[in-house]
Each structure stands twice: as structure tokens, then as C-alpha cells.
Amino acid sequence: MSGIASAGVELDFGIPLTRVRWRSQEEQVLYLRKVVDTYRGWPEFRKLAAWIVFDWAGCRMRDPSCHALAVARWVQRTIRYVNEGEETYMTPPATLTEGYGDCDEFTTLIATLLESIGVECQVVALEWDGEYRHIFPRALVGTAPGGGPLLLPLDATLATPVGSPLKDPLLLLHRRGKAITTLAL
């Protein structure tokens, strides 16, 4: 909680830590999407997200790229990444309270914070070598030159800072010669 306490933002979620287990990656992605949909409406998340993008990062209004990068960078610096042995999950309030998480927690926390201030996100699962292995958030930050959505990968679990040119997990896996399947909601 040190990062939140230093932000001067009081968060009182008043709920116990929640842990769940999934039978499949598809079930996990659906669950994580529902978690984001549930918590994005909490005023505590909106208050924290607004503090991050405007006070902590100095972003301008209506700059979804800056907002997305600011939130992901704040999570990367504030929440300690841990590699779980057996897959479990904590809700975004529990992740903030505990101050640690793996890719599931990073994904739902980043997406929840961003969607609380109007930046649409996807929960993206990656499969390679026949197994789903990683989840990360992607923000919709505009329209690409071809007319499709401009999606910004926000994987705060990697060692390099979010927003680095080589930060997209899809590109990293492609460069390693991996055949990748994605599931994005």
C-alpha cells in the first residue's frame, strides 16, 4: 500500500481478499472481463485513476494514450510482480491492499483503473506451444490509419518500462518464432 498511501488517496474497499481458480483459460478471461466490468464503476478506482493520470503523470484531458501509459507505469512501479506457482487470483481491491500480483492481477487492475475514467480496454490471453500462458491488458486509444482500432499493449509485468518499443508481448513472441493464438475480450 505504500504507493497508494504516498498518493494521498484514501481507499476503503471494506471487502476481504478473494481468491479463485479456473478450469480453463477461456473461463479465466471471461471471469477477468467480468471483474473489470464490476470494479470500473467504483468511485475509489475513478479517484485513484484521476490522481494517477493528472497529478502523478501530468496528462492532459482527452489523451487516452497518456492515460493508459500513466496507469500501466504506475502499476508497474507500485505493485510488486510475483510469479505464482499454482494459479490463483485476487480482485483489484485486494491487489491494491496486498501490493503484489501476477499477470492476472496486473491486467484487471490496469483495465479497471482505465475503464473507470473512460479508456476502453481488452483482456488479452496468449497461447503458444498449445497452452495459454499469459494475460495482459490492451487499451483502445484511437483509430489506426487503416480505420481499425488503435490498440496499445500495457503489459506491466515485463522488466522494461511500459511503452517501450519492444513492449508488445505479441511482437516479442513472434520474434522468438512462436505461433501465437489470442483471446481478447
**Range in 4-18, 70-84, 163-177 with the lowest mean pLDDT:** 4-18
Q: What is the pLDDT of residue 134?
A: 85
For 113, the grid coordinates are 483503473
* Whether 161 contacts 73, CB under 8 Å: yes
Q: What is the pLDDT of residue 16?
A: 47
Question: In terms of pLDDT, which residue wins out, 86 or 71?
Answer: 71
* Whether 56 contacts 23, CB under 8 Å: no
* Whether 56 contacts 63, CB under 8 Å: no
How far is residue 40 from each of residues 92, 165, 166, 169, 180, measured CA to CA in Å?
A: 10, 28, 29, 25, 29
Domain residue limits, the chain: 2-184
**pTM score:** 0.84
* Residue 11 amino acid letter: L
Q: What is the pLDDT of residue 52?
A: 98
* Whether 109 contacts 75, CB under 8 Å: yes
Q: What is the pLDDT of residue 100?
A: 93
Question: In terms of pLDDT, which residue wins out, 9 or 35?
Answer: 35
Q: Which of 112, 118, 5 is nearest to 63 (CA)?
A: 118
The residue with cell 482500432 is: 149
Fold of 2-184: C8orf32 fold (3.10.620)
Q: Model confidence over 141-177: pLDDT tens digits?
A: 999 889 989 889 999 998 888 877 656 776 666 666 7
Distance CA 117, CA 110 (A): 11
Tell me the sheet residues that pair with 155: none
Runs of H (alpha helix) within 23-164: 25-39, 43-50, 64-78, 92-98, 103-116
Report, as an integer, the average pLDDT of 10-18.
51
